[in-house]
Amino acid sequence: MANGSGGDAEHYDVAVVGGGPAGFAAAIAAADQGARTLLLEAAPALGGNATGAFVHTICGLFAPVSTGSSAFVNPGLPARFVDALLRAGAAGPAEEVGRVRVLPTDPARIGAVISAECQKRRSLVVRLEARLQAARLAAAAGPSELAGLGPTGPFRISSELVVDASGEAALGAAGGAATERASDAECQLPSYIVRLAGVPEADTAGYGRLRFTVALARATRQGGLTPRAESALLRPVPGSRDAYMTLNLSRELLVETQDAPAALEGLAREVVDDAVRHLRANRSGYQDCRVVSWPRQVGRREAARLRGRTVVEAEPLLAGLRSDQEVALSSWPIELWHDHRGATYRHPEAPYGVPLGALISATHARLGVAGRCMSASHEALGALRVIGTALATGEAIGIAAALAADRASSLAEVSPAEVRAAAGRSITG
């Protein structure tokens, strides 16, 4: 493993890599169990896609509309986090969209709520701009060692239990754990979400939104827009006259930049500039349209994932299978973004019980995982990756890791029933 700054490494009970929704939830859940916890985040702010990529609704929080219930599918941390968002004005009331219910959020305000929740926990240390680069993962017993680069130079820490919440299995890959990745042909497409001003109100509601999407798709097909712009969606920014434009990027662009993530950021920006130029020149009412806010990063729906003791497959998820192994519920449909037609949806019959085994590495018994890189097939991940479920799986593995650290045991020795019982604890104290 690459060495750090030298001297004795700091030691923790639980170290979480990635401060997106899953990693934030894992870290505060572990700290609430009394574990000395470290949260490492490569970006300058917490929140992952929910802040850095301008994802502006939380999915997977509620039961399907058909149940007639507006209750949270995962009471516990996700419900308390939503309460904190609402109190801070970082989210609006839940909305029904067809068969599901979502929570609109303000990406610019979520990060502050997440930071405030972290600061309340004295046993939690947060390091921003700290990128994990190397790891020696304990296969069965003993601590793991992590090394990387932070704002003041290289760092090195050790931890009894470690959790990969990087969204791309960065920790698992660095430490030689088994990981998997969708093929170039099936990987979900990324999107670039920007905030626009000067969008006619008629295009941000009802059929107006559909007409906008159709017009941009036609422009791409007819050569008026770069073929790198697969399709686009508009959504009003609550309490403002601005709109979010979600511009879906092409598979060719994704494949072309696979080994050069920074290149994707630059090219995605060009695609958006091109789309805005096209709108100003060709679409009525858009003469003053401009980007007023750029995200920190392109939104990646899918990257590498960890292979766990259990791999969640699409069939049991769609059947709403429950078991005594479950530690969180998944209620979102399988939503896959594959081409210019936008997303396809397959709705589950009922919420599915995510087993603890899908949050534990198949190869390293003291490595947990949550969120977008948890153990699932490409299809099942289309449902499990959403923020509401990432919060719930993060909470579950954070609790399991803290219990395992306390007992000097592996994650597999923690019982799912204990995790379920502990998940009822308070987030805000």
Ligand X SMILES: Cc1cc2nc3c(=O)[nH]c(=O)nc-3n(C[C@H](O)[C@H](O)[C@H](O)COP(=O)(O)OP(=O)(O)OC[C@H]3O[C@@H](n4cnc5c(N)ncnc54)[C@H](O)[C@@H]3O)c2cc1C
Q: What residues make contact with ligand X under the rule CB under 6 A?
A: 17-23, 40-43, 48-50, 53, 55, 57-60, 131-132, 165-168, 170, 191, 193, 299-301, 371-372, 385-388, 390
- Shortest Å distance, C-beta 242 to ligand X: 17
Nearer to ligand X, 136 or 280 (CB): 136
φ, ψ for residue 200, nearest 5 deg: -60, 135
Give yes or no for a contact between 173 and 307, defined as CB atoms under 8 angstroms apart.
Answer: no
CB of 83 to ligand X, least distance (A): 17
Nearer to ligand X, 209 or 280 (CB): 209
Nearer to ligand X, 124 or 390 (CB): 390
Nearer residue to ligand X within complex by CB, 86 or 202: 86
Phi and psi at 45, nearest 5°, equal -145, 160
192 touches 268 (CB < 8 A): yes
Cα gap 388→390, rounded to integer Å:
5
Phi and psi dihedrals of 388, rounded to 5? -60, -45
Nearest approach in angstroms of CB 285 to ligand X is 26
Q: What angle (nearest 5°) sits at the alpha carbon of residue 364, between those of residues 359 and 365?
A: 70
Q: Report the nearest approach of ligand X to the CB of residue 39 (Å).
A: 9
Of the pair 24, 212, the CB lying nearest ligand X is at 24
Identify which of residues 355 and 388 has a Cβ nearer to ligand X in the complex: 388
Least distance to ligand X, CB of residue 154, Å: 13
CA-to-CA dists, residue 317 to 48, 112, 203, 381, 387, angstroms: 25, 34, 36, 10, 17
Q: Tell the smallest beta-carbon distance from residue 324 to ligand X (Å).
A: 25
Which amino acid belongs to residue 300?
R
Rounded Cα–Cα distance for residues 206 and 242 (Å): 16
